[in-house]
Structure 1
Amino acid sequence: MTHQNIKEFIAQVVNNMPKDWVNLTTHRLDIYNESLAKSEFLTQFEALYLKNNATEEALANLPTAYDYIRLGHPLSCVLEWILSKFNNLHPDEVISFSSVTMPVLAVLRKNLLENKNTNIYYTSSKYNLIDFDTLKKVYGYNFTTNLVQDESEIKASADSNIFISDKEEFREFNLNKNVDFFVNTYTNLGSVLLVNGDQNNAYTSEIQHVRRRESVAMTPLNSLLALNKFLGKTHQNKITTNSNSKNDVQEIIKEITGTKTTPLVGSSGLSIQYAIMMGLVDDAKQNHKNKAIKFIVPPNCYGGTNDQARRVAALDPNIEVVDLPVDGENDMVSSIDRILDEIAKEDAVPYIIAEIPTNPRVEVPNLDDLKSVLTKKRKTNSGEVAIDALFILDQTFCPNYQFLGEGEILSTCRSISYASGSKFPSGGKCTAGYCVSNDKAKSVMQKIEHHLTLCDNEATKQQYNILVEQLPSMISRISDAYKNTREFVTFIETVLPNAKINFVTKELAEQGFTPSVFSLDLPTKGNSAAEKEAYKRELNLKLINLMITEIPNESKFCVSYGQLKGCYWTIPATSTQGTTKEGDKDYIVRASLSPNLDLELHKKVFSDFVNSL
């Protein structure tokens, strides 16, 4: 396997690759084995290389690599594969990021948990601009920083040595044996991290997990630009950009949300959520010194939110995640009221993260009662006025509802809302997410922006371009998708009346809650609870497999929501709730419909499923 052979093969790949590799957040959802996501893709990709087969058909038949671009995608995997071959590493030991600082933060996080110090070396004084002080005071990371001429100055150490380079090349690097982690940054593209030495193998999965939860991989377009740079096609490394895209996106978001403060846009929904969490931790440490910080989170909410909250708490003994029961027999409002009373007595700092409507049961609390609970004055055990809660709303399911605007339901209590961009904002074309605040919470937006910048997790130029194209049609797409969903739900109620459907009522829809997602608790049978549960889980898969087999061009097995076309099916317990505690998972079917699909065909196939029972 020579370097020249690799170059020639990659040139063919770039010419023949499926358009979806660049234009969508997911590729080949029908061939996706999560536990083997990267290895399965690269095993088959390398087999094509050995056969010198880079035809369009062969590449299109490769399985999905990772998911949602946060953890990776076909082009980032190809880029990592090239660098692994050039540097005699395993592909898992090469990890790309859209951010230039998150790979460093990933190593720092692992070392904090291992109680190990880190030495950071870099050759450019521009890295002095990184707010290292905040990384120590707010994140708790332990490290030294050193400006050197080159990597030859780095000495062996019992600590971890990180070397940051900014050579604009994709090639064989000089992996000094004294360097544990080699980070190479690229202007406007992101970075790659190379894990050097067998003694550091345990870091790879931890670094990848940071990329999945707190950042994203190098984006598809930037990965393509990197591959062109590798091939020497520098003339193709220009992105046509609208210089006003960022400002235009911010103005559109303000109009959609009814807010006045300047929105912040991150590389993904979880990137913006991480900036929110760390910004609030920073604010609490500054304004409520030494007081406990409590993140109040539903135990069955989106798994990324749940996991990230616990990951933040794991790094600081002063931060705790408090479970917020919201679904089924539990009412969000009464749960918040009870928990805030308890936290007030402790004189702690309360931050609430919740989804409205809830996931996956699609429930909306009584908003007037929610407003009352969030604005209620509470006292500490010593009789002092307790710190008021800040409500962080994930409104990905209803990004059109104006919660925070003047006179709206969450305008009188400190509130921030955010949305995942891979859903309705971009229609599945990019992952960029955004957040806004009401006037009561605008003072913390500066902190959130600082941490978004520190993590280098702002949306890319291309992501801004996509959002400025897609956001103007979002409201009408939400309306059309809701109409399809309501019609499908009504049909299911008719043909399978003994199924339990979780969807917003028509009364809530008239108030503006028009999600296009519903969950389905299929009827079951058996002689015991275990038999009934097993039968239902088998039935879930039977339904999904039938839909995606009979309607392969539209129905997909994926957690997507808000896409431009098609219908998406998932089981939350094995997808969005992947990191949720087992007892809090929902083994039900969740479906999300787009504004553009063959609804009559979906009805027919669902009828076939019912007739087979």
Structure 2
Amino acid sequence: MNRAQIQQNLQAILKNMPADWLNLTTHRLDIYEESLAKTQFLEHFKNLVESGKVNLEGLKQLPTAYDYIRLGHPLSSVLEWAIAELNNLPFDQVISFSSKTAPILAVLRKNLFLHKKTQIVYSEDISDFFGAELIREVYGYEFELLKASSNESLPDYEGSRIFVSSANSFDQPKLSFSIDFAVSIHGDLGSVIQVIGAKNASYISEIQHVRRRETIAMTPANCFTALEYLAGNSSSPESPSRDPKTKDSVLESIANITGTDSKPLVASSGLSIQYAIMMGLVHDAMEKHPGKEIKFIVPPNCYGGTNDQARRVAACLDQVEIVDLPVDAGNNMNQSLERILGELAQKDAIPYIIAEIPTNPRVEVPDLQRLKQVLSASRQTENGETAIEPVFILDQTFCPNVQFLPEGETLSVIPAISYASGSKFPSGGECTAGYCVANLKAENLMDKIALHLALCDNEATAQQYEILARQLPSMNQRIQDAYVNTRDFVNFIQDQLPSAKINFVSEELAERGFTPSVFSLDLPTKGDTEEEREAYKRALNLKLINKMITEIPDESKFCVSYGQLKGCYWTVPATSTQGTTKEGDKDYIVRASVSHNIDLERHKEVFKDFAEKL
């Protein structure tokens, strides 16, 4: 396909694309096959293009591309297809990023494990976004830097050679030397990496996984801008810069909601901010406690992205290790923490705790007074010295309205950082941006976190700030209204199906401000053996979900999100949010999330019919 044909097709796609391609942040699991993901989308898409029938209905029928916006989405897939076509590359060898730095870090990470050298060749100065010294010292990546023009003659390199350019072009650079990866920087839009040659195809999944866990794909809005340029509809691919007033409005809203005084940080996603927190704390520990072991204490069944990212960080650094924190399904967070903190104190290790309150997916809240005591207790090392104080990193995405950090509250007794995924309540599902805040004891850590947020180029985009500025002021009211609907629905389910076990907060916890709009449902089962009972329950989970999304298609979705602006989302955590969690720690139960705007009576009616037919 030549450039003119590509432009013609892109013009038709941009004119006819579904509105959800720009506005949707979460996939529908009923039309999503993770093992096929982008491949399946693009195969159907290419058939559509070749048939000459690029219209709204045809584009609507395409299977879901990737998951969320972190790993990819329809517009990033179309952008990558177009760039691949222009450069005669297989479509999976082009990968877009919202971050300028992340694609380079992805290759460096892969080569760390391969014990392979990397040379980064650049034609224009990259020091404004590539912090070479920090990347070597904190991330443990090794590489050579070489400035060279495109027409210089360089000898072949024994290792991976990355060429970085800032030209306003999506064409593969014309060079007088061989390369393995071409990274093109596109200002505030992000970047694109082209994997050159079949010999480097093994890097593709690793590069995509960095995009999934430590950053995000180029956002739909920015992909749209890039596609407009490629289609010939605009003269340059430029994204609007961040408006300082909009950003200040977002920071003020976050500070008010969390009751904190330190300046919040806003990232391109919840996992982007978590990565900045982890690397910032690792950096701080290296400076303040050189040579000491760093332990991240993480629940083994928490959100799969948290679990996976924490273990990915530990895999790269010899002094970092993950310690499992059992918190759910009969395990007590406080007892587990007390035991682990005591053991780590003896070893004089640095303890960093990552935990969700309420827990996911069983929506449990520990005894907060006891948690306060456990965290504030003074501990001794084996040599009788005072142990290093823990830092608590709280994922409060389920209840971002609860103030944990102000003086006198649960987490005020030790250094603590709270963060939330913006794709949930903060944006109402309209963008992925996440944020974090610190209490007074952790305020000194925020500079390091900000440093690594900038190093990875993971700050929220201009559009993400605009969405948060619009949605954050109404967040707490939406949380309250959604909780009222959820409590109503939970009570109804208990009446209709008393044999089911429902995991939800108590009325007492709700009065104290814990008002999530998500609950999990352990449906009744039957069978002569444990295997039969488990198989029956798993089939029943899907039967319920399929009934809800089929009979209420405008509101009920098979999706992993919550905090949405309309309807009800259903999922099975073991097959979605816990995708990378160890099999024995997965939860094969139904998780439902209810919004503030829902036809609750219709949902009750359909659930009642389901219960009566059991």
Could you tell me the TM-score, scaled by structure 2's length? 0.98
Match of 2:156 in 1: 156
CA change 1:328–1:15 in 2 (3 A) is same
Report whether the alignment pairs 1:424 with 2:425: yes
Where 1:48 maps in the other structure, the secondary structure is helix
Letter of the 1:135 counterpart: I
State the 1:5 CA deviation. Answer: 1.2
CA change 1:180–1:349 in 2 (3 A) is same
Match of 1:199 in 2: 199
Letter of the 2:63 counterpart: P
Cα distance between partner residues in 1 of 2:597 and 2:136: 49
Cα deviation per residue 1:125-179 (whole Å; 9 max; x = unaligned)?
A: 2436622111111110010111111264443112110100111123354377721
CA change 1:291–1:582 in 2 (3 A) is same
Cα distance between partner residues in 2 of 1:397 and 1:381: 38
* Structure 1, gaps ≥5 residues long: none
Match of 2:492 in 1: 491
Match of 1:456 in 2: 457
Letter of the 2:325 counterpart: L
Cα distance between partner residues in 2 of 1:297 and 1:545: 33
Report whether the alignment pairs 1:217 with 2:214: no
Maintained 8 Å contact 2:215/2:268: yes
Letter of the 1:439 counterpart: L
State the 1:410 CA deviation. Answer: 1.1
* Structure 2, gaps ≥5 residues long: none
Letter of the 2:111 counterpart: N
Letter of the 1:608 counterpart: D
Match of 2:508 in 1: 507
Match of 1:604 in 2: 605
Cα distance between partner residues in 2 of 1:348 and 1:266: 29
Cα distance between partner residues in 1 of 2:314 and 2:172: 38
Match of 2:596 in 1: 595
Match of 1:19 in 2: 19
Match of 1:50 in 2: 50
Maintained 8 Å contact 2:424/2:561: yes
Where 2:314 maps in the other structure, the secondary structure is helix
Letter of the 1:583 counterpart: G
Cα deviation per residue 1:12-39 (whole Å; 9 max; x = unaligned)?
A: 1111111111112135554222221111
Match of 1:134 in 2: 134
Where 1:33 maps in the other structure, the secondary structure is coil
CA change 1:237–1:329 in 2 (3 A) is same
Maintained 8 Å contact 2:26/2:560: no
Where 2:383 maps in the other structure, the secondary structure is coil
Cα distance between partner residues in 1 of 2:26 and 2:441: 37
Maintained 8 Å contact 1:418/1:435: yes
Match of 1:574 in 2: 575
Match of 1:584 in 2: 585
CA change 1:41–1:391 in 2 (3 A) is same
Match of 1:482 in 2: 483
Cα deviation per residue 1:438-486 (whole Å; 9 max; x = unaligned)?
A: 0000111100000000000000011000100010010011011101100
Maintained 8 Å contact 2:153/2:177: no
Q: CA RMSD in A?
A: 1.4
Cα deviation per residue 1:489-537 (whole Å; 9 max; x = unaligned)?
A: 0000000000000000000000000000000000000001111111101
Letter of the 1:279 counterpart: G
Cα deviation per residue 1:289-309 (whole Å; 9 max; x = unaligned)?
A: 000000000000000000000
Cα distance between partner residues in 1 of 2:175 and 2:330: 57
Where 1:127 maps in the other structure, the secondary structure is coil
Cα deviation per residue 1:395-429 (whole Å; 9 max; x = unaligned)?
A: 00000000011222211211000000100000111
Cα distance between partner residues in 2 of 1:243 and 1:142: 36
Maintained 8 Å contact 2:150/2:176: no
Report whether the alignment pairs 1:437 with 2:438: yes
Superposed, 1:37-436 pairs within 5 Å as 37-127=37-127, 130-150=130-150, 152-174=152-174, 178-234=178-234, 239=240, 242-436=243-437
Where 2:278 maps in the other structure, the secondary structure is helix
Maintained 8 Å contact 1:246/1:464: yes
Where 1:403 maps in the other structure, the secondary structure is coil
Cα distance between partner residues in 2 of 1:88 and 1:113: 30
Where 2:412 maps in the other structure, the secondary structure is coil
Maintained 8 Å contact 1:258/1:406: no
Where 2:560 maps in the other structure, the secondary structure is coil
Cα deviation per residue 1:207-250 (whole Å; 9 max; x = unaligned)?
A: 00000000000000000000011123236956496441111101
Maintained 8 Å contact 1:268/1:420: yes
Maintained 8 Å contact 1:87/1:173: no
Letter of the 2:456 counterpart: C
Could you tell me the TM-score, scaled by structure 1's length? 0.98
Moved more, 602-611 or 304-313: 602-611
Maintained 8 Å contact 2:505/2:515: yes
